[in-house]
């Protein structure tokens, strides 16, 4: 970047961005102002004043976006309204790199809610959770305990946008989704939540322990709005694809889930 001879071109640039409806790139403006001659300090004020009200990611803090997610969630009176709010939400740092938000699949109001980690490439393409190889294995695991999306299982994730390269979602990415996750639980009132894998289990339980320690036990999850449900962590089907020798552990997870659902659904 070469230093501008005066600050005038900088305000011209931000005026043009504003006219085009583009968010002002604050970092670039700061860098240009730092490089421009000092005597035009008022130009900085003009540039600031010209900046449109922050709307998109990048000009709002992560906390602002999390508050916005909480506000939108509280306003959503139905699952459809909540899904529409999630799809329109611009606060996830992951959104720009994705095809679409992946919100939920299955039967709303089912006793069983499975919460996974977040969409991969296939889910991003189809707009549905757990539809790749791991999802097909999840369907077979659920079928073994007489559960299916079409009848008695609801499936979602702790993060709705595909992270690049299938990496785990980061804390900030999970935090902006949490109000939506909580509201989805409140609107569908599951009898039992199953956290599929370490990411949702550790995040929902705010635990320092990993999945190997958490699985095999039952916990309680309380949403921000005060709805409480039992939560059982289980091994993620993608992990089982990599480590089929752990299938007997997964089977024990499923038997625990089936037994608890029998109690809870009476
Ligand atoms: N893995 C997950 O945790 N969620 C999905 O939706 C797909 C794969």
pLDDT tens figures, 172-188: 999 999 999 999 999 99
Report how far residue 232's alpha carbon sits from residue 186's, in angstroms, rounded to the nearest whole number: 18
pLDDT at 178: 98
Q: Note whether 113 and 142 are within 8 A (CB).
A: no
Residues lining ligand 1, CB < 6 A? 116-120, 123, 129-130, 134-135, 157, 196-197, 238
pLDDT tens figures, 209-231: 999 999 999 999 999 999 999 99
pLDDT at 62: 94
The residue-averaged pLDDT of 152-159 equals 98
| Average model confidence (pLDDT) across the chain | 86
Whether residue 108 is predicted with pLDDT greater than 50 in this model: the reply is yes
Q: Give the number of the atom of ligand 1 that is nearest the alpha carbon of residue 237.
A: 1
Residue 16 Cα to chain centre, angstroms:
34
The model's pTM is 0.80
Ligand 1: centre distance to CA 238 (Å): 8
Q: Give the number of the atom of ligand 1 that is nearest the alpha carbon of residue 131.
A: 7
The residue-averaged pLDDT of 139-146 equals 98
- Between these two residues, 12 and 157, which has the higher pLDDT value? 157
pLDDT at 59: 72
pLDDT at 80: 98
pLDDT at 23: 45
Ligand 1: centre distance to CA 117 (Å): 5
- The segment(s) of the chain belonging to CATH 3.40.470.10 are 62-265
Report how far residue 228's alpha carbon sits from residue 159's, in angstroms, rounded to the nearest whole number: 20
Hey, how many other C-beta atoms are within 10 angstroms of the C-beta on 22?
12
pLDDT tens figures, 190-206: 999 999 999 999 999 99
Report how far residue 10's alpha carbon sits from residue 30's, in angstroms, rounded to the nearest whole number: 10
Ligand 1: centre distance to CA 129 (Å): 6
pLDDT at 236: 98
Q: Between vectors from CA 158 to CA 156 and to CA 163, what angle results, nearest 5°?
A: 105
Question: What CATH number labels 62-265?
Answer: 3.40.470.10
Ligand 1: centre distance to CA 54 (Å): 32
Mutation choice for ligand 1 from 101, 102, 128, 135, CB with most ligand atoms inside 8 A = 135
Contacts of 219 (CB under 8 A, 6+ apart): 205, 230, 231, 232, 233
pLDDT at 169: 97
Helix (H) or strand (E) holding 112: strand 112-116
- Between these two residues, 46 and 158, which has the higher pLDDT value? 158
pLDDT at 85: 98
Q: What SS3 string covers 169-236?
A: CCHHHHHHHHHHHHHHHHHHCCCEEEEECHHHHHHHHCCCCCHHHHCCCCEEEECCCCCEEEEEEECC
pLDDT tens figures, 37-96: 443 333 444 444 444 444 456 578 999 999 999 999 999 999 999 999 999 999 999 999
Ligand 1: centre distance to CA 148 (Å): 16
Nearest Cα neighbor of 135 from 196, 200, 204 is 196
Q: Give the number of the atom of ligand 1 that is nearest the alpha carbon of residue 117.
A: 3
Helices 8-19 and 26-35 cross at an angle (nearest 10°) of 170
**Six-digit token pair at 259?**
């037994």
High-pLDDT (> 90) share of the chain, %? 77
């Amino acid at each position: 970047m070469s230093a501008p001879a005066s600050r005038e071109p900088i305000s011209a640039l931000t005026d043009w961005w504003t006219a085009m409806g583009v968010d002002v790139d604050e970092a670039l403006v700061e860098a240009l102002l730092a490089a421009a001659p000092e005597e035009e300090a008022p130009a900085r004020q003009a540039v600031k004043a010209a900046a449109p009200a922050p709307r998109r990611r990048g000009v709002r803090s992560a906390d602002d976006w999390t508050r916005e997610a909480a506000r939108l969630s509280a306003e959503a009176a139905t699952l459809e309204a909540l899904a529409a709010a999630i799809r329109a939400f611009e606060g996830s740092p992951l959104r720009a790199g994705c095809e679409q938000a992946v919100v939920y699949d299955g039967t709303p109001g089912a006793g069983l809610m499975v919460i996974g980690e977040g969409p991969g490439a296939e889910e991003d393409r189809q707009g549905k959770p757990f539809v790749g190889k791991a999802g097909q294995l999840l369907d077979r695991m659920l079928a073994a305990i007489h559960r299916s999306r079409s009848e008695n299982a609801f499936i979602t994730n702790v993060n709705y946008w595909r992270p690049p390269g299938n990496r785990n979602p980061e804390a900030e990415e999970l935090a902006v989704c949490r109000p939506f996750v909580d509201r989805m639980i409140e609107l569908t009132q599951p009898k039992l939540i199953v956290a599929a894998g370490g990411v949702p289990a550790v995040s929902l339980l705010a635990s320092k322990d990993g999945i190997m320690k958490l699985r095999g036990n039952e916990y309680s999850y309380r949403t921000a709005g005060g709805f409480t449900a039992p939560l059982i962590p289980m091994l993620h089907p993608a992990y089982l694809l990599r480590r089929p020798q752990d299938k007997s552990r997964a089977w024990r997870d499923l038997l625990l889930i089936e037994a608890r659902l029998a109690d809870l659904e009476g």
